[in-house]
Structure 1
Amino acid sequence: MQTKPGSPLLKLQNLQISYGGIQAVKGIDLELWAGELVCLIGANGAGKTTTLNAIAGVQPIAGGDILYAGDTINVLPAHKRLRRGVALVPEGRGIFTRLTVEENLRMGAYSRNDKAGIEADLERVYTMLPRIKERLPQVAGTLSGGEQQMVAIGRALLSRPKLLLLDEPSMGLAPLVVEKIFEVVQSVAKEGVTILLVEQNANLALEFAQRGYVMESGRITLTGSGDELLANPKVREAYLGEMV
């Protein structure tokens, strides 16, 4: 699916999402251009995960528009969004714990029928994630948290995404493992995959991202380059734990 000339790959216009009578996302606007790595930061409950789930099609919206490659996809089912190149690595990883690592990875390619391409992409994932290649026959539920996160990212890559949605990839992981995960994220971005990253570790996210959005109580309150947001006193105090 080709992006229409002059259009961002992803555009949210006045996006609104509600749970019952509670409005979780209150009319946000957001853009991602092809090839960008953009982060969405904010406190727990700000609406970040809800936003990613809506883009992926697993959370219905109450108002506004989600445009992908120039087309409105508000009511497009999640599996059709995946076929068009929108892949989500959910919070908590969401791997199939009773399947092997290899079976998990191959599940990412379930909508594809290009056998040679799938095998080539598996080899690419093994090169990017050598630890996972060593664990192929292992039941995924027995892996460490970091290894499970790598499997979840690898599985998403097997769908050949144009837009990769990453929800809290560093959650609960040791610092050295987080460093490895972000190396992988950076490698994926360098291959030209557009990434929208939700991350509690704001400092790390902003160091890696070209641009960022700050979300508070269902609204976008700040946006700018990664460097601009890292230097912003409000961001430094609220999300980097610094007294300014």
Structure 2
Amino acid sequence: MHTNPSSPLLQLAGLKVAYGGIQAVKGIDLELYRGELVSLIGANGAGKTTTLNAIAGSLRIAGGEILYAGEKIHVFPAHKRLRRGIALVPEGRGIFTRLTVEENLRMGAYSRNDKAAIEQDMERVYTMLPRVKERLHQTAGTLSGGEQQMVAIGRALLSRPKLLLLDEPSMGLAPLVVEKIFEVVQSVVKEGVTVLLVEQNANLALEFSQRAYVMESGKITLTGSGAELLTNPKVRAAYLGEAA
């Protein structure tokens, strides 16, 4: 499908998501262009994770549209969205703790049958994540939190995503490990993957993002470049721990 490169890769138009009678996402608009790293920041319970799950197809939407490369994808089940190039690294990593690291990585390629290309991609992941290569034959449950996060990212990359949805990649990790994770995310973006990042560490997210959206109680309340939002007094007071 040929799309205009200047049109958004992902577009949420009036997206609404409700569960258990509660409206978690209240009609948001969001755009993501090819090659961008965009973050979604906000307090716990703002609707950020719900938004990612709706894009990936693990939650049904209650209204609005999700357009991906110009196509309405909210009508597709999750596996069809994955085949079109949308991969989610869920909050809490979601790795298979009883499988080895290598088995976990290969699970990312389950919808592919291009064997030679899968092996190339495995090598690519090893280069990007040397720690993962050292642990290939270990059960994933024995890894540290940071290593598990890297396995989760590596597994997502094996589906050859065009759009990577990252949910709280730094959660519960030591600062040095977080730095490493963000370096990996940057190299993924350099390879041409578009990234939508949900991150509690607003400072870090804004530093690395071209653009960002601030979400509060299911609505987008602010948007701008990462640099603009970093210096915005409202954002600094609410999310960067500064007195207003």
TM-score, scaled relative to structure 1: 0.99
Distance 1:224 1:180 in 2: 26
- Provide the residue aligned with 2:168 in structure 1: 168
In the alignment, structure 1 segments of 5+ residues that lack a partner are none
- Provide the residue aligned with 2:53 in structure 1: 53
- Provide the residue aligned with 1:93 in structure 2: 93
Aligned partners of 2:132 and 2:151 also within 8 Å: yes
- Provide the residue aligned with 2:230 in structure 1: 230
Which consecutive segments of 4 or more residues in structure 1 shift more than 4 A?
none
Distance 1:4 1:186 in 2: 25
Q: CA deviation at 1:6?
A: 3.7
Distance 2:234 2:69 in 1: 33
Which secondary structure state, in structure 2, belongs to the residue aligned with residue 177 of structure 1? Answer: helix
- Describe how 1:47-196 pairs up with structure 2 within 5 A: 47-196=47-196
Distance 2:21 2:85 in 1: 32
TM-score, scaled relative to structure 2: 0.99
Once the two structures are superposed, residues 221-240 of structure 1 have per-residue CA deviations (whole angstroms, 9 ceiling, x without a partner) of 00000000001000000000
Distance 1:22 1:63 in 2: 14
Distance 2:43 2:6 in 1: 33
Root-mean-square deviation (CA), in Å? 0.8
Once the two structures are superposed, residues 35-80 of structure 1 have per-residue CA deviations (whole angstroms, 9 ceiling, x without a partner) of 0000000000000000000000000000000000000011201001
- Provide the residue aligned with 1:243 in structure 2: 243
Aligned partners of 2:10 and 2:66 also within 8 Å: yes
Are 2:64 and 1:25 aligned? no
Distance 1:8 1:183 in 2: 25
Distance 2:207 2:192 in 1: 18
Q: Percent identity?
A: 85
In the alignment, structure 2 segments of 5+ residues that lack a partner are none
The total of aligned residue pairs comes to 244
Distance 2:3 2:196 in 1: 17
